């Protein structure tokens, strides 16, 4: 692991790092905010998965989360959203696929399966690295995200309930099998067999459950979100899936808010408090 920069922030430390990932086959960048409480004892860890076109910097710069992480004594971790510098043909041709658009899954179609293995990177590489190299409390790990990252947070929590004790999301892609973004990415990353897609669709995964995932899931959705209108997000389908599965869900709809980071920052305090309650 290589430290790129470290800066004091709200009594803690905001750092940017790079590790050589065996899973990805190339270096990956990530950011970590360590709250001041970590000077005394290990603290809970909360992973944030960013959306399309973002990097490991976007959340830490724009969301205003460090203030609340310091208040609650929670470590924040934000990975990059895809491998970089792969050299694959077409990897940078579209803003919603390839660079900055890894969708937090392991691709099975060539050439993407060689490097685009974001699920394995997160659970097999980055999470163990954080637990080994930072003052993180074992067994107290949560996950949240925005848009594509909200999709990733929900699906990874559902696929790895032994790793993540809490989950929330801002404007997540909840039913990618039925959204243009998801259909494009899944078709290219996972191939034509839609049975494979079901394992990375939050609605489908929730439908498979016979018990609660956690004591609650929190989702915030702006009603002036252009992607809500374009049927990319479909939160009502996840709401119905949770109701059918008996999973407690707080889906909060906010008039006037759009899809951007001003929306995220407006409700960040609620999400940090939500995770603090579940992780502590």
What residues are labeled active site?
Answer: 147, 225, 259
Closest CA to 276 of 61, 30, 65: 65
Q: What is the DSSP string of 56-103?
A: TTHHHHHS--HHHHHHHT-EEEEE-SS------TTTTSBTTBBTTB-T
d(CA 105, CA 155): 9
The reply to whether omega before 111 is within 30° of 0 (cis) is: yes
Which of 230-261 are b and which e, b meaning 16 or more Cβ less than 10 Å from the residue's Cβ? eebbbbebbbebbeebebebebeeeeebbbbb
**Beta carbons of 280 and 77 less than 8 angstroms apart:** no
Burial label, 89 (beta-carbon count in 10 A; 0-12, 13-18, 19+): exposed
The set of residues, in sequence order, having a beta carbon less than 8 Å from that of 256 and lying 6+ positions away, is: 222, 223, 224
**Beta carbons of 181 and 240 less than 8 angstroms apart:** no
d(CA 147, CA 154): 11
d(CA 189, CA 103): 9
**Beta carbons of 148 and 51 less than 8 angstroms apart:** yes
Kindly report the CA angle at 185 between 181 and 188, in degrees rounded to 5? 145
């Amino acid at each position: 692991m290589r430290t790129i920069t470290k800066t004091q922030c709200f009594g803690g430390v905001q750092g940017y790092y790079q590790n050589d990932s065996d899973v990805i086959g190339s270096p990956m960048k990530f950011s970590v905010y360590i709250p001041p409480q970590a000077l005394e004892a290990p603290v809970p860890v909360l992973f944030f998965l960013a959306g399309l076109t973002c990097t490991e910097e976007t959340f830490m710069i724009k969301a205003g989360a460090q203030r609340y992480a310091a208040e609650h004594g929670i470590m924040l971790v934000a990975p990059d959203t895809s491998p970089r510098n792969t050299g694959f043909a077409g990897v940078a041709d579209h803003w919603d696929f390839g660079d900055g658009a890894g969708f937090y899954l392991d691709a099975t179609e060539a050439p993407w399966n060689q490097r685009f293995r974001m699920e394995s990177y997160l659970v097999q590489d980055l999470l163990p690295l954080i637990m080994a190299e930072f003052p993180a409390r074992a067994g107290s790990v949560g996950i949240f995200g925005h848009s594509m990252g909200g999709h990733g947070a929900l699906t990874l929590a559902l696929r790895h309930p032994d790793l993540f004790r809490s989950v929330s999301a801002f404007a997540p892609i909840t039913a990618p099998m039925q959204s243009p973004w998801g259909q494009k990415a899944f078709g290219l990353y996972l191939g034509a067999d839609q049975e494979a897609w079901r394992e990375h669709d939050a609605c489908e995964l929730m439908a498979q459950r016979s018990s609660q995932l956690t004591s609650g899931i929190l989702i915030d959705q702006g009603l002036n979100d252009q992607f809500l209108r374009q049927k990319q997000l479909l939160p009502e389908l996840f709401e119905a899936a949770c109701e059918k599965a008996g999973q407690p869900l707080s889906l909060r709809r906010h008039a006037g808010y759009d899809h951007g980071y001003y929306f995220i920052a407006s409700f960040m305090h609620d999400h940090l408090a939500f995770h603090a309650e579940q992780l502590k």
